[in-house]
Amino acid sequence: MIPTLSSPFAWIASHAWLYPALEVVHLIGVALLIGNLALLELRLWFAPADDPPAVQRAALGLVLAGFSLAALSGLTMFASQPGELIANRAFTLKMLLLMLAGCNAAAFHARGGLARRDALARAQTALSLLLWLAILACGRWIAYA
């Protein structure tokens, strides 16, 4: 018999408190990520051009910490039931939106969007916030799809 991807982690999904604890960790990571991302992006829209770089660095650091926490807990939850999640349309849409959000963020930072504050930077931040809201909705919808 060939072991499946879920075999080492399948017990996580049925554990009385571990899977719910992973969900809490995932939500904390998402809150750190989106809360600080919104702060960072809205500052680009509304803060003066001489916005202190220290605030931007601090917010970006918390965004990355939140993403790391959400990604690690999310990968662990995925590993516990990959077959079910891959068959779930809300999950596959969430993964597509995550990929788009990552590409948007990479393009934004590659062109120095935080320093530019031009129309494209503003459009990219608006798209980012919309993508992350859609990712949140899909994440919640996974349980019902």
pTM confidence score: 0.86
Q: Is the C-alpha dihedral spanning 75, 80, 86, 88 positive or negative? A: negative
Question: 119-141 and 18-46 are packed helices; what angle lies between their axes, rounded to 10 degrees?
Answer: 160
Per residue of the chain (145 residues), give pLDDT as tens.
Answer: 344 444 467 778 777 889 999 999 999 999 999 999 999 888 888 877 776 677 788 889 999 999 999 999 999 999 999 999 999 999 999 999 999 999 999 999 999 988 888 999 999 999 999 999 999 999 999 999 8
